[in-house]
Each structure stands twice: as structure tokens, then as C-alpha cells.
Amino acid sequence: MRKIICLVIGLTTLLSMAYAAQWSGEWRPFHATYTIYSGELAERKAPTAAERTMTVAFKGQAAKDVFDSIGPDSHPGCSQESGYRERNKRGVSCNYTSVGTDRGYQCWIGLNLRTGESIPTVSC
């Protein structure tokens, strides 16, 4: 029994060290677009003194990394098409599609610039 406990502790330590060795903690660049507005994203208006919302949109590896970090998939999602997946956490919304011209990963992050709060900005 003692050998099994030592083996489990040893394996856990080894796996933790291997995982830590892979993570570099470095900042990685990515391409993003953004808009600052008031109202809803689908019906944007000019920002006002009382209301300023920012939505940042990005695709590619950065979007995949975020998508993988905020699981599980949301059900029901905006689309029921085969190959479509969606994940949401407060002001972070990502999707993946394997078909069509927008295939791949894409994400949106919403921020209320007056309060600093993360807010949902993308809807179906």
C-alpha cells in the first residue's frame, strides 16, 4: 500500500513538472478588431458620455486558446448546423465551425468602459 501511495505521488509530481515546463508564460501577439459604441452590438450607436461599450473580435489560434479555456459547449447554441460549436462565459463568446466561409475559431469579448465590467455583446 505504501508503495502505491509513493507511486501516485511521484507520478503526480512528474506530470505537474512536465505541464509546468510546457507553459512559458510569454505574451503572444494576435490580430484583433474592435468597436466602441452605445446600444446593442447589432444596432450600434455613437458612444455617449453615459454609455461606452467595447467589443473586441479575433480569430485563429488566440480564439482557439480562449475557446478551449471556457468550455463546456453552450446548448442550445445559435446554430444547430453540424460542425458548429459555441461557448460563452459572461462577456466572452466564442464559436467554432467546420463548414462555410467563416470556418475556424472566432471570439468576442465585451467590456463596459464606464464600469470595467465584462458584458455579453454578441447574440444570435
- pTM comes to 0.77
Instruction: Point out which residues pair with 38 in neighbouring strands.
Output: 45
Among 15-29, 48-62, 71-85, the range scoring the smallest mean pLDDT is 15-29
Contact 94, 87 (CB under 8 A): yes
* Confidence category of residue 8, pLDDT binned at 50, 70, 90: very low
Burial, 20: exposed, middle or buried (Cβ in 10 Å; 0-12, 13-18, 19+)?
exposed
Region of residue 49 (left: phi > 0; alpha: psi -120 to 50; beta: else): alpha
Using alpha carbons, select from 66, 55, 53, 79 the residue that is nearest to residue 106.
66
- The string over 30-58, giving b where at least 16 C-beta atoms fall within 10 Å of a residue's C-beta and e elsewhere, is eeeeeeebeeebeeeeebeeeebbbbbbb
Average pLDDT, the chain: 83
User: Before 120, cis peptide (omega within 30)?
Assistant: no
In this predicted structure, what is the pLDDT of residue 2? 52
Region of residue 39 (left: phi > 0; alpha: psi -120 to 50; beta: else): left
The answer, yes or no, to whether residue 85 has pLDDT greater than 70, is: yes
